[in-house]
A and B are shown apart, each in its own frame.
Chain A
């Protein structure tokens, strides 16, 4: 609170008081950033991390006391300590972050070593995303308009094959949303084939709530996530 007030005062009177503009804001925030980046060190190099935190606190205190030169030096030191702590933490990472497996209830046979990886890629070509109402897989008028345009693009690009991805917002259960995303993708495929697109060019996949476009818990974010997206393979 005190620092905030100082900042505000500096901002207001920055032109008048020569001391204020010298507060090493950038160096301080660089030190703060380095501390934030050293999150692993909090656990894996706790002593080094604590030293960096102490130095940063000292830099802040000096700055609050308007000892700006000393504050700058301390902030630089804090940043250096934080970076060092993180390096140390990374070196120790394997020991420190290794999952602690209960030796009497060995889970190793459940650990998947198959090395399989995740998802496919692709761009959306000229296909525009369509959106759905909450817990619904019926097409709104707006969605129907978008799909008519998408059908036109597919007719203009007759070699393009399209994967329709059904998505949901993050409310509701993981499994139910996979089913709902599937219903959305199916409705879109049906609509496109009604527009004369060969259904052999259309495949579907549901991602449920697994691939949100927008973060956050507000209705705006939810509405952007309830969608069918298109991935074009040529």
Chain B
């Protein structure tokens, strides 16, 4: 871990507060603050972003300010500061300071902070948002301040200045997500994942339909409405492959251009579909030769390119390594379902998991080093683990909180989305890759199954 305490710690701020209270001379403040923000340079703060949320940054996010113009009746405040707060919480790297602890009155303060009021509550960063409604447009000003550094941080365009947007909550939210991505880039050197999309299945009674949803749990769109069973969606290459019973058996379909087209309808099973990173093959499970095996299909025609497995047991659930050279999958050829790995031509098949007798749903990290999977333990509870390719080290990410299943990595490999029943219904959750920060993102009644994070 190259983690280092960034900038002035809350403790240092507290000491300063005791020393100076609120009567300090600006020069004295500079004297103290300068060495502190020399560490937290403008390029962001150095710390390990692979392991998740070891260091948490303190951030203050006051409610969005109406900078004049008509009152907000269209949810602008919620779409700005509400979205920003929710995203930052999900991101896991931040402690959001309770608004009740604010010394400054953000409404009176306006867009320029009185730094000392924010230093004294121990925050390192301050996110200000303001808007002015003009007819059917809104001017939105989003700002990140380094409180340690006592300056505004210039983020990449379009977040370097105020932007004019249509007066529409969805569009405002999209802008706010993009801003948060840049805030996360400033603090962790790698941008956030907001404005990506997940696909999943949502159960409603007996019907299972495909949905697309933003990682903050909003902007959910229903993609199919057959009233039947649609399942196992994957999103890549501008299309969604999925499995559906609409023609009788489990067949594969591809959804693009507003229509589901048959993709693979061989005799028996046609399930799952994982597009290779180079987009040249789709790995699927077929049973046309008498047993569930993994095949590669042409991504457009659905024609068989190659059969990869040949065992008496079940072989299913393929997941590509990011370099496209290997495939993880589930096989029960040794008697129980386990995670296996093979080369992309089917050679070198090797069992990867040995703990437990029920390991499923492998998802290869986009960073390449680990595979997340679902394991059932001796209490019949399902939890999410990762296994490192290099040494087979297994790490548990969830524990004692309902059933946790179907992990899917964020495109940057820093987070895992999954389903959890810990609140009583099956909801979408996102956790940091080390499992330290876990947040429910879906709202409402639940029924979410098999999320797949678009890459």
B210's nearest neighbour on chain A, judged by CB, is A112
Chain B interface category by residue count: 35 or more
Query: Given A104-B171, A179-B292, A182-B292: A210 and B229 within 8 A (CB)?
Result: yes
Instruction: Please tell me which one of the listed residues A111, A119, A180 contacts residue B221 in the complex, with CB atoms under 8 A apart.
Output: A111
Instruction: Please tell me which one of the listed residues B220, B250, B337 contacts residue A206 in the complex, with CB atoms under 8 A apart.
Output: B250
Query: Cβ of A99 < 8 Å from any Cβ of B?
Result: yes
Give the complex CA separation of A180 and B180 in angstroms: 44
Query: Cβ of A176 < 8 Å from any Cβ of B?
Result: yes
Give the complex CA separation of A99 and B222 in angstroms: 7
A175 touches B226 (CB 8 A): no
B168's nearest neighbour on chain A, judged by CB, is A103
Q: Which of chain A's residues have a CB closer than 8 A to the CB of B218? A: 100
Query: Cβ of A116 < 8 Å from any Cβ of B?
Result: yes
Q: How far is the CB of A115 from chain B (nearest CB, A)?
A: 8
A119 touches B174 (CB 8 A): no
Q: Which of chain B's residues have a CB closer than 8 A to the CB of A206? A: 249-250, 269
B212 touches A117 (CB 8 A): no
Instruction: Please tell me which one of the listed residues B212, B227, B258, B374 contacts residue A173 in the complex, with CB atoms under 8 A apart.
Output: B374
Query: Given A175-B285, A205-B249, A206-B250: A182 and B259 within 8 A (CB)?
Result: no
Query: Given A173-B374, A176-B317: A102 and B214 within 8 A (CB)?
Result: yes
Describe A's contact surface by its main secondary structure. Answer: loop
B318's nearest neighbour on chain A, judged by CB, is A175
Query: Cβ of B287 < 8 Å from any Cβ of A?
Result: yes
Give the complex CA separation of A120 and B405 in angstroms: 30
Query: Cβ of A109 < 8 Å from any Cβ of B?
Result: yes
B250 touches A178 (CB 8 A): yes
Give the complex CA separation of A113 and B221 in angstroms: 14
8 A Cβ contacts from B142-196 to A: 166, 168-171, 173-174, 195
B227 touches A118 (CB 8 A): yes
Query: Cβ of B296 < 8 Å from any Cβ of A?
Result: no
B203's nearest neighbour on chain A, judged by CB, is A210
8 A Cβ contacts from A49-108 to B: 99-105, 107-108
Q: Which of chain A's residues have a CB closer than 8 A to the CB of B223? A: 107, 110-112
Q: Which of chain A's residues have a CB closer than 8 A to the CB of B256? A: 109-110
| Contact flags A177-196 to B (C-beta < 8 A → 1, else 0) | 01110110010000000000
Q: How far is the CB of B409 from chain A (nearest CB, A)?
A: 16
Q: How far is the CB of A187 from chain B (nearest CB, A)?
A: 12
A100 touches B170 (CB 8 A): yes
Query: Given A109-B257, A112-B260, A178-B250: A99 and B221 within 8 A (CB)?
Result: yes
Query: Cβ of B197 < 8 Å from any Cβ of A?
Result: yes
B268 touches A182 (CB 8 A): yes
A176 touches B360 (CB 8 A): yes
8 A Cβ contacts from A99-149 to B: 99-105, 107-114, 116-120, 135
Query: Cβ of B448 < 8 Å from any Cβ of A?
Result: no
Q: How far is the CB of A75 from chain B (nearest CB, A)?
A: 28
Give the complex CA separation of A152 and B128 in angstroms: 77
